[in-house]
Amino acid sequence: YMLVKQHDRVGRMADTLEYSDVGFPLDRFEPALIDEIRRFAPSQLEIGDRDGNGEMEVVVKHVYIERRMIPLNIYLQEAFDMLAHPESPAQARRAKDQLVHAVVEYGNAIKDMVAANIFPGDMLWKNFGVTLNGKVVFYDYDEIEYITDCNFRRVPEPRNEEDEMSGEVWYSVGPKDVFPETFGPFLLGNPQVREAFMAHHADLLDAAFWQHHKERIQAGQMLDVFPYEEAQRFRHDGRAAHGPHTTHF
């Protein structure tokens, strides 16, 4: 978390605010949630009338707070549900647009992080969120690495039929090895998601893409990351841009 806080987040990594002894009204918690906190983090939980006013509180000793977002997997599931049972053709179109927007923004978020020398590590949909403005942001930092610390590889060709049919990894894997072509089975099981992803971000499944950016960063070349879509940026004369051929800052 400190790495992310001190790094250029390029608008794609949620900032975290660290707090101690945070109190919440006890009546906001289901008993099952209290039991879960007691089971997994008993030293972080205290329940009592801290202020002496007769109101019971749940006090969390140490907590990171992030902005509230819709988890990307839930955002996608909402689109899947609407597509499966649309109430009208217009709703079906909105659901399709929501799905495509989510997938395109997901890939854009990863590419923006790559530009800032960040490999997210765990790229599952659930580790990304959608803001109120529809922007996709990464928020699970347990497995992040610097791009320059990773070794991006292609999966070797099988040596024989036994290798090809094996359910186990038969080639050597180092602690920093990453095989981008293996991302697909974990991310692209839904045909509509796969179609949108391959149309816009197929290069994320190619080790050459990642290796190129690693070498670029190692050479001292840093890319600009713009927080707004091209049509929303300003021109030199201060007016909003209206087309793809406008010169921007």
Pair 99, 91: CB distance under 8 Å = no
Q: Which of 70, 33, 83 is nearest to 190 (CA)?
A: 83
Q: Give catalytic status of residue 15 as yes or no.
A: yes
Token pair listed for 188: 């692209």
Tell me how far apart the alpha carbons of residues 183 and 124 are, in angstroms, rounded to a whole number: 9
Tell me how far apart the alpha carbons of residues 123 and 68 are, in angstroms, rounded to a whole number: 19
Tell me how far apart the alpha carbons of residues 16 and 6 are, in angstroms, rounded to a whole number: 11
Tell me how far apart the alpha carbons of residues 242 and 235 are, in angstroms, rounded to a whole number: 10
Active-site residue, selected from the candidate residues 15, 140, 163, 203: 15
Pair 192, 81: CB distance under 8 Å = no
Catalytically active residues, by annotation: 15
